Structure 1
Amino acid sequence: MPISRIAIGTPGEACHPDALKAAAAEFFSMLIFVFAGEGSGMAFNKLTDNGSTTPAGLVAAAVAHAFALFVAVSVGANISGGHVNPAVTFGAFIGGNITLLRGILYWIAQLLGSVVACLLLKFATGGLETSAFSLSTDVSVLNALVFEIVMTFGLVYTVYATAIDPKKGDLGIIAPIAIGFIVGANILAGGAFDGASMNPAVSFGPAVVSWTWANHWVYWVGPLIGAAIAALVYDNIFIGGNTHEQLPTTDY
């Protein structure tokens, strides 16, 4: 069971230069991702008179987030592992691939990166609103929770298969591409229902800047549950105790 490999970490890890560099990499990767992803929606609204909720707006959001996440994961992969998502970090922790203390550093950096990106967007656009994630009128909280669990399961399962599994071989650029593609596809599937976050930090930044917290918990609980399930399923079925290898701290 991967749960037996969960590690707290040492106090000195929180201030170790490698850990701080990894946290900085997560901050900048998240800033890049949120600025491009959230900014694309704001630009589409400006050009189409609030048309981001149209089919064309949904496709534009999916493409923008897929491209931006591909870049954000790629630029951070060699330093922090390119999590760019507190749910991915949580899934890696559940699988014993990152310590709790290092994971907390990642979370702080990811949340700050999202908030800073939204503040920069608000300033650069002359005060335009960074819209918080919200549920469609015909979608219940339970519906949205299931969407977030299933979509994040698919995302973290993909991360495990392409980036964490020690048997993956030299996939190189395939991992960031696959991760970007699954996020883009999930936005097409769930974007019209709850915004398809799959990422607590991506939801947190706009919520802070716009100070909109309605149903915000869904965008934390759903992704964290989905990530934990994906980690447990993939590790137990496809990695197993006999083949598991702790990833170098330079990766996760």
Structure 2
Amino acid sequence: MTLQEELRSRQFWRAIAAEVLGTLVFVSAVLGSSMPGPEGNDGGPLYPALAAGMVAVGLGHCFGEISGAQVNPAVTLAFLATRRLEALRALVYVAAQCLGATLGTGILYLALPQKSTAESFANKVPMEVNAGQALGMEMLATFQLVFTIFSVEDQRRREGAEPGNLAIGFSLSAGIFTAGRLSGGSMNPARTLGPAIITGVWEYHWVYWIGPVLGAILAGVSHEFFFAPSASRQKLVACLTCKDIEMVETASVSRSSLSTVTQTAMRAKQAHKSEHT
């Protein structure tokens, strides 16, 4: 599809609107659950982890067929790196996600009775942890999340009926439980950018872009070119040389299917020969 056809497509703008609204809902749910209680008690990563996992499942059902319900620039860039998404759509998705995150944070900020509590919105590197350690935790948490997303998407392409939203929700919650107390467990640059714009807290902001993006791209590349059923050296070369990956993938699947059929026929022939003997 050409650039003009993409911009004139109703489906394209529906997908953009879905990413804006989906990220708005996701960020507002996570930030709302992370606010301290009436006595200033901090619930730790428990409430944000549960809220993020549950809202991810809901958004998958709402917008999965429209835009993929990515609501995360790191996920979008991982799809771009593995050529599962075109450059134009990926860049517009990232802009829409950042806009949705900023709007969600702003709406929640306006609803706060005490504006000082908005400081809990921002992702911060704890005093006992340095930036390098926080970066590593963000990479690790995002890696397991995005690897799960790619696995679910691959199973959807092969089987069609498998929703997989629960697996993604559980993986998101697990990432926040793992990295929540060490880096905040963001795994989503938009979730960090929105609060930074509203509250003005930009300390170590680069950690929450570089960590999730690197972790997501590593997860996407490792799944697509090493662990997926259609993974092959030819597929990796096709990606690096900007060739058509789908043709290589189809050929790989066809060879795999042919091999399975051949093995089944040989087993049947051997069984028939044994019975005859």
TM-score (norm 1): 0.85
8 Å Cα contact 2:155/2:162 also seen in 1: no
User: 1:187-246 deviations in whole A, cap 9, x for unaligned?
Assistant: 11110011011000111111110011000011111111111111111111213234369x
Percentage identity across paired residues of the two chains: 31
Q: Distance in 1 between matches of 2:187 and 2:158?
A: 24
- Aligned match of 2:23: 30
Which residue, out of 215, 223, 226, partners 1:226? 215
Which runs of 5 or more structure 1 residues have no equivalent in the other structure? 1-8, 246-252
Which residue, out of 6, 9, 17, partners 2:10? 17
- Aligned match of 2:79: 92
Question: Where do residues 176-187 of structure 1 align in structure 2 (5 Å cutoff)?
Answer: 176-187=165-176
Question: Where do residues 1-252 of structure 1 align in structure 2 (5 Å cutoff)?
Answer: 10-12=2-4, 13-42=6-35, 45-49=36-40, 51-52=41-42, 56-126=43-113, 127=115, 128-129=117-118, 131-164=121-154, 168-173=158-163, 175-237=164-226, 238=228, 239-240=230-231, 241=235, 242-243=248-249
- Aligned match of 1:250: none
8 Å Cα contact 2:53/2:169 also seen in 1: yes
Counterpart secondary structure, 2:19: helix
- Aligned match of 2:238: none
By how many angstroms is 1:102 displaced? 0.3
Kindly provide the amino acid, as one letter, of the partner of residue 140 in structure 2.
V
CA 1:168/1:148 → structure 2, altered by over 3 Å: closer, same or farther? farther
By how many angstroms is 1:68 displaced? 1.4
Q: Distance in 2 between matches of 1:156 and 1:168?
A: 18
User: 1:81-136 deviations in whole A, cap 9, x for unaligned?
Assistant: 11111111111111111101001111111011100001100111233415210011
CA 1:233/1:193 → structure 2, altered by over 3 Å: closer, same or farther? same
Q: Distance in 1 between matches of 2:108 and 2:157?
A: 41
Q: Distance in 2 between matches of 1:48 and 1:136?
A: 22
Moved more, 58-67 or 122-131: 122-131
Moved more, 23-32 or 121-130: 121-130
Counterpart secondary structure, 2:159: coil
Kindly provide the amino acid, as one letter, of the partner of residue 205 in structure 2.
H
Kindly provide the amino acid, as one letter, of the partner of residue 85 in structure 1.
N
By how many angstroms is 1:46 displaced? 3.0
By how many angstroms is 1:71 displaced? 1.3
Kindly provide the amino acid, as one letter, of the partner of residue 29 in structure 1.
G
Counterpart secondary structure, 2:47: helix
Which runs of 5 or more structure 2 residues have no equivalent in the other structure? 236-247, 252-277
Kindly provide the amino acid, as one letter, of the partner of residue 82 in structure 1.
A
Q: Distance in 2 between matches of 1:114 and 1:87?
A: 14
Max radius of gyration: which structure? Answer: 2
- Aligned match of 1:6: none
Kindly provide the amino acid, as one letter, of the partner of residue 155 in structure 1.
L
Aligned residues: 230
CA 1:31/1:63 → structure 2, altered by over 3 Å: closer, same or farther? same
8 Å Cα contact 1:162/1:171 also seen in 2: no
Aligned CA-pair RMSD: 1.8
Q: Distance in 1 between matches of 2:138 and 2:151?
A: 20
Q: Distance in 1 between matches of 2:130 and 2:79?
A: 30
Q: Distance in 2 between matches of 1:24 and 1:195?
A: 28
The answer to which structure has the higher helix fraction is: 2
By how many angstroms is 1:16 displaced? 2.9
Counterpart secondary structure, 1:231: helix
Counterpart secondary structure, 1:96: coil
